[in-house]
Amino acid sequence: MSSPRFCPYEGDVDARSPNRNLAPLTAEIDSEDQLWVGGCRLADLADHYGTPLYVLDEATLRAGCQAYCQALTRYYPGESLVLYASKAHSSLAMAALMASEGVGLDAVSAGELLTAVAGGMNPRNVVLHGNNKSRVELELALEHGVTVVLDNWWELDRLERLCGQREQRVRLLIRFTPGIECHTHEYIRTGHLDSKFGFDPEELDAVLRRLAMAPWAEVTGLHAHIGSQIFELQPHEDLAAVMVKALGQARALGHDPGDLNVGGGLGVRYVASDDPPAVAAWVRTVSTAVVAACRQHRQPLPRLLCEPGRSLVATAGLTLYQVGSRKEIPGVRTYVAVDGGMSDNPRPITYQSRHTACLPRRCRAAATETVTVAGKHCESGDVLLHNISLPPVVDGDLLAVFATGAYNASMASNYNRIPRPAAVLVHGGQANLVQRRETGQDLLRWDILPEHLRQSDPAPIR
C-alpha cells in the first residue's frame, strides 16, 4: 500500500491536521491501483451499497477532534471546549462520535438539537443558535437545559416570557457582530455589521444592562462568528481582542461571563492550490490572542469555546459516483455525467466551489483528458467539477469526489425527486451504514393525494 498523491502533506508536521489533506487520512492505494479508505476498498463499498455513496472516515474525524482538543490543551492555559458545528453534517452517528471525543455541539434548529441529544450528546455541552428561533425550539432548549445563543431583542422578549411562565433560568451566550471583515465567499460572511445574525456592537451595552435586571437570565458569556472557509489567521486574532474587551464590558455591568465563544470558520483544502492553516496554528493564534487581550484588559481567562464545522468533517468525507453518459462537443468541452450531482452536493452550484476527484479503481493512471463532470439533474448549472484532468473516463467507471464530508449531506435535497444517497462510516476495514439510502417510497411519503383527484379511470393521453 502507498499513499495517494492527493495526500501532499503526508509526513510533514501538520500531517495530522485533516483540514490540510485533500483525502481522508487513511487513504491508501494498493498494488492493483485501487483506492482504500478506512481499510475498505472503495470499489467494494460502491458494489455493496450502490452509488452515489457518502463515505466517512472515522479515523479522520477523530484526528480532527484530537487536533483541536490537543492544541487547546497545549496553547490555552485556561479551560476550553470544542463545540462541533453540526450544520456541517448532522446525524446520530456524528453526534455520538463527537461526544465520544469529548466534543460538544452547536445546533441551529430543533432537528439538530434532537439529533444531538438522541445521539448521546450531553445537553450541557450543547448550544442553540438561530436568528429566528421558534417557540418550540426555545422550549426544547429549556427542557434539555442547553445554552441559548441570544441573537436579538425579539428573542430576548420571547425568552423572558417563556422563562417567566416556567420559572426557569436559562444560560445565555450573547451573540454580537464584531465588525471584522474576512476574505471569503460573500454569502458566508457573518462578522461584518450588515449581518442578519447577532446584536450590533453598539447595542451590546443596552442588552447587557437589561439582562443584568433579568432574574431568568444567566449570561455565561459572549459569542461571535466571522465567517467560513477562512484561510487567514489575522481576523481571528482581531476577533479575540474585540471579544475580550466586550467581556470586560459585561463584567462591569455585573455579569459573570466565564465563556468566550469565537465561532468556527477555519478553511479546508478542496483543491491543491488551497493552503489553509493547520488546526494547531489556528488554535495557537486564537489562544495567544485571548491570553494577550486578557492581560491587556486585566480580565481573568475565560473558558475558550470554538465552533468548527467544516475543518472537523470535510476531508473525512468523499462521495462515490458511477459515471454514465458522455457528451463531446468538439472544440468546446467534454461532459461526463455521474449518477448524482447538485442534490447530493449543492456547493458547486451554490458557491462555485471546487473539489478534487479521482477514479478509485485506477488511481495512478495518467490523467490524459480534461472533462467536465456534470450531475444528472435537469439544470445546466448542475456541474460538480469544471475542467478536471482525469484518466480516460468510460461508462461504468467509479468516481470519487473528495472533501464532501461538510455541507453536502446536510444540504442535500430531493430536487428532481432524486433520493438522497446512503452514508457509510468506515474504520479498520469495517463499514457501517449510518444513513440509509432513500427510496422511491420515501419520496412519496409526505404526499397526499386528495380524494377528488384520485383517478379511478385515468384520462387517455392525447
Active centre residues (catalytic): 378
Judged by CB under 6 A, does residue 147 bind ligand LLP? no
Q: Record the cell numbers describing residue 452, joined without a space.
A: 377528488
Judged by CB under 6 A, does residue 344 bind ligand LLP? no
Q: Which is nearer to ligand LLP, 34 or 60 (CB)?
A: 60
Is 407 annotated for ligand binding? yes
Judged by CB under 6 A, does residue 361 bind ligand LLP? no
CB of 280 to ligand LLP, least distance (A): 16
Q: Record the cell numbers describing residue 19, joined without a space.
A: 483540514
Residues near 33 by beta carbon (within 8 Å), at least 6 away in sequence = 361, 362, 363, 364, 365
* Chain CA centroid to CA 138, Å: 23
Q: Kindly identify the residues of this chain, within the stretch 6-65, that bind ligand LLP according to CB under 6 A.
A: none
Cα separations in angstroms, 265 against 173, 215, 234, 262, 271: 18, 34, 12, 9, 18
Q: Kindly identify the residues of this chain, within the stretch 231-290, that bind ligand LLP according to CB under 6 A.
A: 263-266
Q: How far apart are CA 310 and CA 356, in angstroms?
A: 16
Q: Record the cell numbers describing residue 235, joined without a space.
A: 481576523
Judged by CB under 6 A, does residue 86 bind ligand LLP? no
Q: Which is nearer to ligand LLP, 335 or 351 (CB)?
A: 351
Is 321 annotated for ligand binding? no
CB of 233 to ligand LLP, least distance (A): 14
Which of 388, 407, 422, 431 touches ligand LLP by CB under 6 A?
407
Bridge partner list, 266: 230
Q: How far apart are CA 283 and CA 69, in angstroms?
A: 9
Query: Binding mask 169-208 vs ligand LLP (x if CB under 6 A, - otherwise)?
Result: -------------------x-x------------------
Judged by CB under 6 A, does residue 130 bind ligand LLP? no
Q: Helix or strand or coil: residue 44?
A: helix
Nearest to 317 by CA among 48, 52, 14: 52
Judged by CB under 6 A, does residue 225 bind ligand LLP? yes
Judged by CB under 6 A, does residue 88 bind ligand LLP? yes
Q: How far apart are CA 391 and CA 389, in angstroms?
A: 7
Q: Which stretch binds ligand LLP (CB under 6 A): 66-74, 92-100, 223-231, 415-423?
A: 223-231
Q: How far apart are CA 44 and CA 449, in angstroms?
A: 40
Nearest to 319 by CA among 412, 408, 433: 408
Determine whether 5 is exposed, middle or buried from the number of CB atoms within 10 Å of its CB (0-12, 13-18, 19+): middle
Is 331 annotated for ligand binding? no
Annotated binding site for pyridoxal 5'-phosphate: 265, 307-310, 407
Annotated binding site for substrate: 310, 347, 351, 379, 407
**Which residues sit at the interface with ligand LLP, rule CB under 6 A?**
85, 87-88, 106, 129, 188, 190, 225, 228-229, 263-266, 307-311, 347, 351, 407
